[in-house]
Amino acid sequence: MAVCFFDTSALVKYYHNELGRQMVVSLADDPNNRIFISRLGLIEWHSAFFRLMRMDIFTQDEFQTIRTRFLSDIRHRKFLIQPLERTHQNQAIRLLSRYAFTQSLRTLDALQLAIALHTNSHTPLDHFVCADLPFCQVATLEGLSVLNPESL
């Protein structure tokens, strides 16, 4: 059994065929694994798929089919949603203070990382799954075991 936290860059791969998808599907489809995502990931997921639709990768009908599947997966707890709390916002500011200048940590990534670190403190994570190399580096510096599905 593996306990994982999926950043949105990994979550999107579950629903879109791109580099690294096979590893993400393997983790998410194993019924013994627990996969956490943040509430912020729900919003970012929609943003990513609207971008793909603007790029004509999906039609609106295809998007609706994918979105229905995603929301069904959420309802059936394939992905366990972690809330966004004030403490996460404060932690994100600390993370930005530490890494924004030297590691180019971005706002939403800082929030995602704060939620992942909080999750890890209560339910130890085996892996933080992320396909954004600079973000992976910061997560590693914060002590998380990182899996980048694009580099395996």
Instruction: State pLDDT tens for residues 2-52.
Output: 999 999 999 999 999 999 999 999 999 999 999 999 999 999 999 999 999
pLDDT of residue 125: 99
Domain that holds residue 58: 3-147
Specify the number of domains making up the chain: 1
Task: Report the predicted TM-score, pTM, of the whole model to 2 decimal places.
Answer: 0.95
Mean pLDDT computed over every residue of the chain: 97
**Distance, CA of 25 to CA of 31 (rounded, Å):** 11
Q: Does a structural domain hold residue 9? A: yes
* Average pLDDT of the segment spanning 66-82: 98
**CB 122: neighbour CB atoms within 10 A?**
8
Q: Does a structural domain hold residue 58? A: yes
**Distance, CA of 67 to CA of 22 (rounded, Å):** 20
* Average pLDDT of the segment spanning 77-87: 97
> What's 94's domain CATH number?
3.40.50.1010
For residues 140-150, b (16+ Cβ closer than 10 Å) or e, as one string? eebebebbbbb
98: burial class by Cβ within 10 Å (0-12, 13-18, 19+)? middle
What are the pLDDT digits (tens) for 88-140? Answer: 999 999 999 999 999 999 999 999 999 999 999 999 999 999 999 999 999 99
